[in-house]
Amino acid sequence: MNLAQYFQVSVESLLPNSPIPAWLYGHLIKTTPPPCFGRDWELHQLHTLLSFVESDQKSKSVYLFGMIGAGKTLLIDTLSAYTKASGKGVINLICDRGIKPEKSVFSIAIFIEKLLHINEIKDEQQIRNKVNLVSSSTLSNLRTIQLLELPLNENQQQTLKVLSANRVRELDHMIAYDLMSYAAHKNIALITIDDIHQLSAPETRFIRLFIEREFTHPILILLAAQEKNQLITQPDWLAFAHSIALKTLNTQALNSLAKQYIESQGLCSAKYQSRIQIAIERAAGNPSFLQQLLLSSHPHLVLPEKLQHLISTMLTKMPIELTLLLKLAALIGLTFNVEQLNHFIRKKQTYSALCLIQKMLSTGLVVYKSDHFIFCHPLVWEIIKNQVNKVELNWYQREQKEVKKVSEPNLTRY
């Protein structure tokens, strides 16, 4: 401002290409999302990247990751609200069916529909005309129609069938460029895809087309995930994405969140300090778990209901051997090591130890530290331990006695 006054010109004339940060449009948001307590740095990073993309006129990608309940979706919703308030277009997709029914569930076809603005069009011929208008070639047009799962005649099917795998990849790259060009033309500035750890292999391959290259279009692509399934570690195709890890919240942020949440329920937070402190201690830095615990008048006794349901569903869908291993690991303790697991795996005579342990890590319920395993959160550990039935507990206790006998020195010969 001082520099502008010195030269007696406007600030805008000194910064002709500097976009106005999206967060300055916060007062225009019709429905303000809940505050992102303790996530100021992460939100600032996202706003900075969004502004940089606009000023640089090139696409960028962000990989936002953290455990369940860490606040990924809230950050996405907040950034999306600010971006929409600034007059820019936003595409929000989620890969988890059932968590956020008001959001569009990701599939390749739905993603293309969103980018082409044809998701509201019911007439098939209009959709084909729009695809033909945007496509760079006849072949890319046919391939896009195929990806949209629209019917092709016999000749069209044969044309695509004889293409080599390399040629199909070339067409897919061309399609990605065409889609990003049209999205930029329609003023789309932000694309978010939540829960990408649930993507199928074909869906992942398609998303990579938009991440592994830089497009000359000012669009920020934000991908969010838990560290599970194929994303236990960050894959190579996300190497060029700006990574933001969501760590646990500090006590100050948790206190602010708890106060705001209690008061949003029409209660006086000062009267519930005891409940708040107990809930904060048990939540161990997880904002979602904290809110669930605050709903109970006995946070020292209960377990978060939504989390219990989620883990129960996960255990039910897992192979029996994997479910049993997680339960036995929970009986060992919050932390455990390879030797302790190997004993039980050999006794059950199931998968190889390495295979089963890898499957255990892919659940995201357990993480590996330098020399041991640990459940991703104490409440997750408690819930899994509570799933152990009497038969499994008796078997574990018998095995523990055997382990102690083997480990005890034989002193009779002395």
DSSP 327-357: HHHHHH-SEE-HHHHHHHHHHHT-S-HHHHH
Q: And the tokens for 157? A: 């099917």
| pLDDT above 50: residue 273 | yes
CB contact at 8 A, 332 and 293? no
More confident residue, 345 or 307: 307
- Give Cβ neighbours of residue 281 (< 8 Å, ≥ 6 apart): none
- pLDDT for 152 beyond 50: yes
Last residue of a domain, one of 245, 277, 293: 245
Give domain status of residue 410, yes or no.
no
Residue 254 to residues 102, 264, 318, 343, 406, Cα–Cα distance (Å): 28, 15, 33, 40, 47
pTM confidence score? 0.87
pLDDT of residue 6: 43
Q: What is the pLDDT of residue 293?
A: 96
Q: How far apart are CA 382 and CA 308, in angstroms?
A: 10
Q: What pLDDT shows up at residue 371?
A: 87
Asked if 90 and 123 sit in the same domain, the reply is yes
Percent of the chain with pLDDT over 70: 86
Q: Any idea what DSSP says for residue 363?
A: T
Residue with tokens 């070639």: 137
Asked if residue 23 belongs to a domain, the reply is: yes
Q: Per residue in 381-403, pLDDT tens?
A: 999 999 999 999 998 888 887 76
Predicted local confidence at residue 340, as pLDDT? 85
pLDDT of residue 338: 87
Which has the higher per-residue pLDDT, 50 or 352? Answer: 50
Distance CA 93, CA 351 (A): 36
**What was the pLDDT predicted at 106?**
95
pLDDT in tens, 158-200: 999 999 999 999 999 999 999 999 999 999 999 999 999 999 9
Q: Do 178 and 193 fall into the same domain?
A: yes
Tokens of 290: 């904290």
My answer on whether 41 and 101 are in the same domain is yes
Confirm whether 176 is domain-assigned: yes
User: What angle, rounded to 10 degrees, do the helices at 273-283 and 287-294 form?
Assistant: 140
User: Does the pLDDT at position 407 exceed 90?
Assistant: no
412 located within any domain: no
Alpha-carbon radius of gyration of the chain:
26
Query: What's the gap between Cα 254 and its chain centre?
Result: 21
Distance CA 171, CA 141 (A): 9
The region of weakest confidence among 41-45, 287-291, 319-323, 351-355 is 351-355
Total number of domains in the chain: 3
Under a CB-based contact definition with an 8 Å cutoff, are residues 160 and 142 in contact? Answer: yes
Residues 356 and 391 reside in one and the same domain: yes
Confirm whether 328 is domain-assigned: yes
Residue 205 maps to which CATH number?
3.40.50
Write the pLDDT tens digit of every residue in 25-76. 555 556 677 889 999 999 999 999 999 999 999 999 999 999 999 999 999 9
106-120 mean pLDDT: 95
213-249 pLDDT per residue, tens: 999 999 999 999 999 999 999 999 999 999 999 999 9
- pLDDT exceeds 80 at position 347: no
Amino acid 356: pLDDT? 86
Residue that finishes a domain, picked among 230, 245, 260: 245
106: buried, middle or exposed (CB in 10 Å: 19+, 13-18, 0-12)?
buried
Strand partners, 224: 64
pLDDT in the model for residue 20: 53
Rounded to whole angstroms, the Cα distance separating 366 from 227 reads 10
- Same domain for 240 and 262? no
pLDDT tops 80 at residue 413: no
| 316 pLDDT above the threshold of 90 | yes
287 and 196 part of one domain:
no
Out of 245, 261, 283, a domain closes at: 245
Same domain, 206 and 278: no
159 and 276 co-located in one domain? no
Q: Are residues 353 and 263 in the same domain?
A: no
Closest CA to 108 of 214, 201, 241: 201
Model pLDDT, residue 33: 73
Q: 43 lies in which domain range?
A: 2-245
Does the pLDDT of residue 353 top 80, yes or no? Answer: no
Say whether 16 sits in a helix, a strand or coil.
Answer: coil
Do 97 and 41 sit in the same domain of this protein?
yes
Span 274-283, mean pLDDT? 96
How far, in Å, CA of 310 to CA of 322, rounded? 16
- Asked if residue 13 has pLDDT above 70, the reply is no
- Range from 144-153, 179-188, 350-359 carrying the lowest mean pLDDT: 350-359
Same-domain pairing of 383 and 293: no
Which tokens is 263 given?
Answer: 């008061």
Whether residue 153 is found in the same domain as residue 83? yes
What does the mean pLDDT of the chain come to? 88
Domain-located, residue 87 = yes
Q: Is 414 a member of any domain?
A: no
Domain contains 164:
yes
From CA 125, how far away is CA 350, in angstroms rounded? 54
Answer whether residue 263 shows pLDDT above 70: yes
Kindly report the number of other CB atoms within 10 A of residue 148's CB atom.
18
